[in-house]
Amino acid sequence: MTETNAPLDDDAALEASRMPLRQHLEELRSRLIKSTVLLMTLLVAGLFLKDFLHWVIVLPWDTARAAIAENGRDIGTLGVIKPHEQMVFAIKVSGVFAIIVGSPYYLAQAWGFIQSGLLKRERVAIHKSFPLAVGMFAVGLLFGYYVLVPMGLRFMLTFYDAEQISIQVTLSEYFSVLSALTVLMGFVFELPLLMWVVVRAGIMEASTLSSSRRMAFVVFLVFATLLTPPDPATQLLVAIPMYGLYEIGLRFADKAQRAYDEAI
């Protein structure tokens, strides 16, 4: 009897917690102002920390430069073309710093606003999955920063011999590559959760994912080949962790399949 009435009680609680539109807008306005104030404060702080942030951003370049120098080639330092490019770069980096450092607060504000419109079971599901999603994304960023970007730079910057072409890379161009590859790996590391979602939603069965192991490894190997230097060791260094994520995702998918089967 309790299980039968649970969804009705949940819906009733949701209906009782609803606020008038005006009150919703006031709450949204308040949370946006608080988040904006923190964002601007951290942005200014990032400008004061520009030398340290520059060191953090350029570290993968320096790592790749040192590795390339072992073969007798110096790719030099990053440069600028336009007079204002240094300032624009510092503002971009400070903006990223403000977003990353303040993200727990921004997410807390967003959650505080939307949770009143969710059912209890939906809130519980998000509470369980969200920390894991954030953690996996952070691990993906670190993998991209420490592993993929330095290796990718080594490949891209030595594609031609030094006698054929000179290296002239600007801060802005490098920052675009760094951002793209690290964010890409952040999303790649969400693969286990994505596999759980597609199975839990009934879009695909866990058995289908399990039988696609070989195909998945080939896809990961091709992906690694496109982004890394053309040597098997480096390619496997990228492809194997990605396949490991797939195996972890299969464990998630099995649990999702059991939950889906019980629900129907």
Q: What is the pLDDT of residue 13?
A: 52
Instruction: Give pLDDT tens digits for 202-237.
Output: 888 888 999 988 898 888 888 878 766 566 766 777
Q: Tell me how long the chain is.
A: 264
Nearest alpha carbon to residue 59 among 145, 141, 143, 140 = 145
Nearest alpha carbon to residue 86 among 167, 173, 169, 172 = 172
Q: What is the pLDDT of residue 1?
A: 42
Q: What is the CA 167 to chain-centroid distance, rounded?
A: 29
Q: What is the pLDDT of residue 55?
A: 94
Q: Where are the alpha helices (DSSP H) in 115-231?
A: 120-143, 149-157, 171-188, 191-200, 206-210, 213-227
pTM for the whole structure: 0.74
Instruction: Give pLDDT tens digits for 115-157.
Output: 777 677 667 767 777 888 888 888 988 988 998 888 878 877 8
List of residues 6+ apart from 136 with CB closer than 8 A: 189, 190, 192, 193
Asked if residue 138 lies in contact with residue 103, where contact means CB atoms within 8 angstroms, the answer is no
Residues facing residue 79 across a β-bridge: 170
Residue 257 has pLDDT above 50, yes or no: yes
Alpha-carbon distance values, 264 to 6, 33, 52, 260 (Å): 17, 44, 55, 6
